[in-house]
Structure 1
Amino acid sequence: MTPQGPQPHQPPEPTAPAPAEPLLTRDYDANPAQVHARLRDTYGAVAPVDLLGVPVWFVMGYEEVLRVLQNAGGVWSKHPDRWKAHAEGRIPADWPLLPVFQVNNSTFQEGAAQQQLRNAWTSALAPFQDHGHPQAQQLEQAVARHADDLIAVLAEGGTTGQADLAAQYARPLPLMVADRMLGFTAGRGEDVVMDIWRLIDAGADEATALERLHAAMTELGAAKREHPGDDLPSYLIAAKPDITLDELARELLMLPGLLDFTASLVCNVVVEVATNPDVRESLSTGAIDETINRVALLNPPMANLTFRYALTEVKLGGRTIAAGDPVMLSVAAAHQDPRFAGAIDWNAIRTTRAHLAWGAGPHNCLGRLLATRITAIAVHRLFKRMSKVKLALPADQLPWRPSPFMRALRSLPIQYELAPAPPTTAPTPAPPTPEAPPPTEPADRPSRSPLWTFLRGLRRPR
């Protein structure tokens, strides 16, 4: 792609990515767009930054990010073995982000091994993403039911009140969907959901939660190999019969990233709807998918991507990237690149699909349709059940989770008012017979389980 219009000024090229200024600062947590603009003014499309003590190249130009993602020349790798500083032992063993790069799954693999696993994922996700498939229809019904159940827990405190929509709605909803897709038994599934939550939050027990999750996924894979079902692990095994249990467990552990992305996207869409009356009005016309796309452009949950490494010396954005140097691609900064943003008609009804929120090239997101559908249902059910959703803080004061990769709210405090329930006529239940026992509450409805007890404990007093 040939950029149009004047090119940004390129200062003298640094000879190495260090020394450099720290990227993750309070200013970055509060307003990354301002940091992007300052770095762009100082360095151009590619800036040397310090990431928690490790020097990396921070790529902010739309064209440059897209070029690396597409990797047409085969000069970029995601495999950490290509990271020169890591191979030479120059990355501290206690570097906080090191575990992210040590997960040996298809996220970081290359070539035939990666393609085989991605093909398996494509096949395994198809029943859940193809709207014509019964499994996808059942999943959509389950998402709506889970959403209603979470809203019902809020309603137990009254028809008006305050809530943290991140903790009480947006984050647990995708985890419940994952529980269903993985095919765990009810009790085991909730334990896994809670551990996924601990892993995403990177708390003090993150390491033990990861160990339990790997063991649970391995155990699940063994059970599904013996007794396949209509679930994600069984579909992965069917698509790649030679996959080992360890490989399967590592692949299934990719779900927390997709779930965190989806939860953040739900929150970001809710903020957009709550603060923009025109958007709220458009939801009644079925424009939720367009709103999701617009939010993915303006505020992508995956703001920065994990590293790529140059396989040979390469020029990028006027900089010379040495072989083995890491680059971190900033999707959020690329969307703000004047060469890209300046060409967008922001008043158009339909927003550009050329954004990079779902990645591009050989590592693009395979769960895009699933994440979008969960988000659409979550937003639709929320604003159908609530007549009022008002942010309890100004939008520019919402608390964001410090993260080098995600742009996710730590909490989403709101004031809400439930819409009046439509009148219904309850059918007269048939008397129980020995052949037809009395109906019981479905296993996936709210109960006194640890997960629902935890969620009820988050309710705020009126």
Structure 2
Amino acid sequence: MTSPYEPGAAPPPGCPAHAQGGPAAGPAQAPAQHAAAAGGTPLDQGEQHSLVKLYEPEFAADPHRYYAYLRQYGALAPVEIAAGVTAMLVTDYRAALDLLNDETTWSKDSRAWMQTVPPDTAVMPMLGWRPNALFNDGEVHRRYRQVITDSFRLVDPQELRNRVRRTADTLIQRFGATGEADLVPAYAQQLPLLMFNNLFGMPDEYGDQLIAAITGLMDCATPEEAASADAAFTAYIMELVGRKKAERGPDLTSWFLDHPNALSDEEIAAQIVVTMAAGNEPLANLIANALSRMLSDDRYYSTLSGGALTVQDAINEVMWNDPPMGQYSAHYARRDVFFHGTWVRKGQLVLISYAAANTQFGEVTLDSGSGSGAHLTWASGPHACPVPRHALVIATTAIERLTAWLSDIELAVPKSELRWRPSSFQRALAALPARFTPITPDQAGATPWDNSSSPSTRPDLTSTERPSASVS
């Protein structure tokens, strides 16, 4: 049987039958044939039906099978990311690197593209322009990004680990005595939420509001739900900025406000939005996806009690094969360009599929090695993730803490029964049911209710020294 990672694989459900022999025009010609229709302009009915719809459950269930089909178009393939909204998707590793590192040909500014799609499209919260580091180029981008990188430098790594441990212990206390839990809503989604809510200086009771808003933004199920999530997130951010303008603290919001680059209130809010959105849901997916791999792969089973393979190994394999954001890095051509065998017109939306590019030559495991180069989960170039080390500290510590307290934890269902949330952008489990030996506050030995490594008195993040103006 053909591997889903290999070119020439049978077309997935919903793809045109002619794909069994390659696209009708042939791999070299098919991209150019579709390129003129793969921006924001509406396609005719026949063309729309021929496109892979990234937002449907079938794609979420088996994306690598779809990537194998899409590779038959070449380095770029036409896809649909919401009803009537199309894009070109980069599935080739070399092409992805070339695009991500070329500010001359490609722009992150989506304002012209926004005029070509319905304003209420479900993907607008993820792609609509804002005055932040994600949607701007050149000096404007560097000014915004510097506020983020300089402020995160003030977060001490050891204190960050301690905060993760305290947060993890709090969550484990809530379900530890039951002997079972769905680790997605009970742990993976809650932990980064509570971390970022805390790091930015908001009281814990705002956590539910934040997680509902960010989950809605990422899932983009309907235009109405996307608009509601966007409004909820905006309200949260505005209250946060208002609180910190009135009273500073040792937190990221205060450091954003006091940064020498002197951003306006609107710009401050925009940097908080992009930092939280890029940190919460993707981190939740990374934690859940790594846990699902560890709990379903015999190579990792002994890791829970000190085996040879580590949490870092599981995270590395996930970032190669099932990155928390399957595709993103939206770019727009500054001019008509012939790019890796495909004509891309000026202003056309192009997305990078990190998952497809990472696995271009097959699934990556510890045994197979990492292929040529590094994975693209953090993207690359000037818009690469500004704080990958902080993200890794949070994810690694969260998983280590959970498996330390619940050393016999295992999946409650076969891995084949796990389901994924439909999304054009993220790779997110709908649920991760697990079972374990219950732990209680009164049992012998250390438990999350009583341990010396998680003090109840919270120290400051670090010093309140003003951020420097050094360029990252």
Same fold (TM over 0.5): yes
Amino acid corresponding to residue 152 of structure 1 in structure 2: Q
* C-alpha spacing 1:15/1:316, structure 2 compared with 1 (3 Å): same
Displacement of 1:394 after TM fit?
Answer: 2.4
Tell me, in whole angstroms, the C-alpha distance in 1 between the residues paired with 2:163 and 2:66.
Answer: 41
Alignment of 1:43-442 (within 5 A): 43-52=73-82, 53-71=84-102, 74-83=104-113, 86-87=114-115, 90-104=116-130, 105-128=132-155, 133=156, 136-157=157-178, 160=179, 162-188=180-206, 191-192=209-210, 195-197=213-215, 199-200=217-218, 207-254=227-274, 255-282=276-303, 284=306, 287-338=310-361, 341=362, 346-347=366-367, 354-418=374-438, 423=445
Displacement of 1:82 after TM fit?
Answer: 4.2
Query: Are the aligned partners of 2:57 and 2:421 in contact in 1 as well (CA < 8 Å)?
Result: no
CA-to-aligned-CA distance 1:231-277 (integer Å, 9 cap, x gap): 00111122245211121112111203311010000011101111122
Displacement of 1:187 after TM fit?
Answer: 3.9
Amino acid corresponding to residue 46 of structure 1 in structure 2: L
* C-alpha spacing 1:252/1:305, structure 2 compared with 1 (3 Å): same
Amino acid corresponding to residue 230 of structure 1 in structure 2: P
Displacement of 1:366 after TM fit?
Answer: 1.2
- TM-score (structure 2 length as normaliser): 0.78
Displacement of 1:349 after TM fit?
Answer: 7.5
CA-to-aligned-CA distance 1:29-70 (integer Å, 9 cap, x gap): 2101001111213x1221122332123212111111111111
Amino acid corresponding to residue 23 of structure 1 in structure 2: V
Displacement of 1:165 after TM fit?
Answer: 0.4
Tell me, in whole angstroms, the C-alpha distance in 1 between the residues paired with 2:336 and 2:370.
Answer: 40
- Name the SS of the counterpart of 2:89 in structure 1: strand
Query: Are the aligned partners of 1:385 and 1:418 in contact in 2 as well (CA < 8 Å)?
Result: no
Amino acid corresponding to residue 174 of structure 1 in structure 2: P
- Over the aligned positions, Cα root-mean-square deviation in angstroms equals 3.0
Query: Are the aligned partners of 1:358 and 1:368 in contact in 2 as well (CA < 8 Å)?
Result: yes
* C-alpha spacing 1:345/1:390, structure 2 compared with 1 (3 Å): closer
Tell me, in whole angstroms, the C-alpha distance in 2 between the residues paired with 1:242 and 1:116.
Answer: 10
Displacement of 1:205 after TM fit?
Answer: 5.8
Tell me, in whole angstroms, the C-alpha distance in 2 between the residues paired with 1:345 and 1:138.
Answer: 32
Tell me, in whole angstroms, the C-alpha distance in 2 between the residues paired with 1:210 and 1:69.
Answer: 27
- Name the SS of the counterpart of 1:323 in structure 2: coil
- Name the SS of the counterpart of 2:409 in structure 1: strand
Query: Are the aligned partners of 1:214 and 1:250 in contact in 2 as well (CA < 8 Å)?
Result: no
* C-alpha spacing 1:443/1:239, structure 2 compared with 1 (3 Å): closer
Displacement of 1:146 after TM fit?
Answer: 1.4
Structure 2 equivalent of residue 11 of structure 1: 28
- Name the SS of the counterpart of 2:33 in structure 1: coil
**Aligned match for 1:22, one of 40, 51, 76:** 51
Structure 2: unaligned runs, 5 residues or longer: 1-6, 8-21, 38-46, 448-454, 460-472
Query: Are the aligned partners of 2:125 and 2:217 in contact in 1 as well (CA < 8 Å)?
Result: no
Displacement of 1:331 after TM fit?
Answer: 0.7
Structure 1 equivalent of residue 70 of structure 2: 39
Displacement of 1:114 after TM fit?
Answer: 0.7
Tell me, in whole angstroms, the C-alpha distance in 2 between the residues paired with 1:205 and 1:384.
Answer: 38
Tell me, in whole angstroms, the C-alpha distance in 1 between the residues paired with 2:204 and 2:249.
Answer: 15
Tell me, in whole angstroms, the C-alpha distance in 2 between the residues paired with 1:54 and 1:91.
Answer: 7
Structure 2 equivalent of residue 428 of structure 1: none
Q: How many residues align?
A: 406
* C-alpha spacing 1:191/1:275, structure 2 compared with 1 (3 Å): closer
Tell me, in whole angstroms, the C-alpha distance in 2 between the residues paired with 1:345 and 1:226.
Answer: 50
Amino acid corresponding to residue 80 of structure 1 in structure 2: S
- Name the SS of the counterpart of 2:428 in structure 1: coil
Amino acid corresponding to residue 109 of structure 1 in structure 2: N
How much identity, in percent, do the aligned residues show? 28
Amino acid corresponding to residue 22 of structure 1 in structure 2: L
CA-to-aligned-CA distance 1:414-445 (integer Å, 9 cap, x gap): 222247965269xxxxxxxxxxxxxx98799x
- TM-score (structure 1 length as normaliser): 0.79
Tell me, in whole angstroms, the C-alpha distance in 2 between the residues paired with 1:54 and 1:212.
Answer: 24
Displacement of 1:223 after TM fit?
Answer: 3.6
* C-alpha spacing 1:170/1:189, structure 2 compared with 1 (3 Å): closer
Amino acid corresponding to residue 305 of structure 1 in structure 2: Y
* C-alpha spacing 1:278/1:296, structure 2 compared with 1 (3 Å): same
Query: Are the aligned partners of 2:214 and 2:280 in contact in 1 as well (CA < 8 Å)?
Result: no
* C-alpha spacing 1:209/1:443, structure 2 compared with 1 (3 Å): farther
Tell me, in whole angstroms, the C-alpha distance in 1 between the residues paired with 2:52 and 2:407.
Answer: 41
43-52 vs 145-154, which moves further: 43-52
- Name the SS of the counterpart of 1:312 in structure 2: coil
